[in-house]
Structure 1
Amino acid sequence: MGLDGIKKAMDFNGNHSTMTMFVLLGLSDEKELQLILFPIFLEIYLVSFIWNLGLILLIRMYSRLHTPMYIFLSFLSFTDICYSSSISPRTLSDILKDEKMISFIACAIQYFVVAWMGMAVCCLLAAMTYDRYVAIVSPLQYSAIMAPGLCGKMVAGAYVTGFLSSLSQTVSCFNLNYCSPNIIQHFFCDLPQIISLSCSNPFIRQRILLEAIFIVFGSLFVILWSCGFIVASILNICSAKCSAKAFNTCASRLTAMTLFFGTALSVYLCPSSSHSMKQDKVLSVFCVILIPILNPLIYSLRNKEIKVALEKVIKRSTH
Structure 2
Amino acid sequence: MAGSNCSQATEFILAGFPEAPAAQVAQFLLFLLTYLVTILGNLGMIALIRVSPLLHSPMYYFLGNLAFVNLCTSTIITPRMLAGVLLGKKGITYAGCMAQVFTFDLFEMVECVLLVVMAYDRYVAVCHPLLYPLVMSPERCSRLVTGSYLLGLINGVGQTISMSSLFFCGSSAIDLFFCDISLLISLSTSNTTLSLNIMRTSSLLGVSSILVVLVSYMVIISTVLSTSSAGGKRQALSTCASHLTTVSTFYGSLIFMYLIPRSETSRGGDRWAAVLYTVVTPMLNPLIYGLRNQVVKEAWRRLRKRRSVARYTGGVGDSLGFL
The reply to whether TM is greater than 0.5 is yes
Task: Extract structure 1 runs of 4+ deviating beyond 4 A.
Answer: none
- 1:87-166, aligned counterparts within 5 Å? 87-166=77-156
The residue type paired with residue 249 of structure 1 is T
Residues 199-218 of structure 1 deviation map (CA, whole Å, 9 limit, x = unaligned): 22353342132022022122
- What is the aligned partner in structure 1 of residue 243 from structure 2? 253
User: CA shift at 1:84, angstroms?
Assistant: 0.3
CA distance in 2 between counterparts of 1:166 and 1:226 reads 27
Asked if residue 238 in structure 1 is aligned to residue 266 in structure 2, the reply is no
1:39 corresponds, among 21, 29, 40, to 29
Pick aligned residue for 1:275 from 265, 271, 281: 265
Q: Percent identity?
A: 38
SS in structure 1 at match of 2:295: helix
Q: Distance in 2 between matches of 1:202 and 1:117?
A: 23
Q: Does 1:188 find its partner at 2:178?
A: yes
Q: For residues 99 and 75 of structure 1, what CA distance do their matches in structure 2 show? A: 33
CA distance in 2, matches of 1:37, 1:111: 24
Q: Distance in 2 between matches of 1:237 and 1:277?
A: 47
Q: Is 1:310 aligned to 2:291, yes or no?
A: no
Matched, 1:224 2:237: no
Tell me how many residue pairs correspond in the alignment. Answer: 308
CA RMSD, Structure 1 to Structure 2 (Å): 1.7
In 2, Cα distance between the equivalents of 1:238 and 1:314?
A: 36
Is 1:48 aligned to 2:38, yes or no? yes
2:201 matched residue in structure 1: 211
Question: How far does the alpha carbon of each residue in 1:286-312 deviate from its partner, in whole angstroms, 9 at most, with x for none?
Answer: 011000111111122122221222122
Unaligned runs of 5+ in 1: 1-12
Moved more, 233-242 or 119-128: 233-242
CA contact (8 A) 1:34 1:95 kept: yes
Judged with a 3 Å threshold, the aligned counterparts in structure 2 of structure 1 residues 202 and 14 are, in CA distance, closer, same or farther, namely: closer
CA–CA separation in structure 2 for the residues paired with 1:114 and 1:232? 36
TM-score by length of 1: 0.92
Deviation at 1:266, TM superposition (A): 1.1
Distance 2:22 2:101 in 1: 29
What are the ranges of 5 or more consecutive residues in structure 2 without an aligned counterpart?
312-323
Are the equivalent residues in 2 in contact too, given 1:51–1:293 (CA < 8 A)?
yes
**Higher mean C-alpha deviation, range 145-154 or range 297-306:** 297-306
Q: TM-score, normalised by structure 2?
A: 0.91
Q: d(CA) in 1 for partners of 2:5 and 2:306?
A: 70
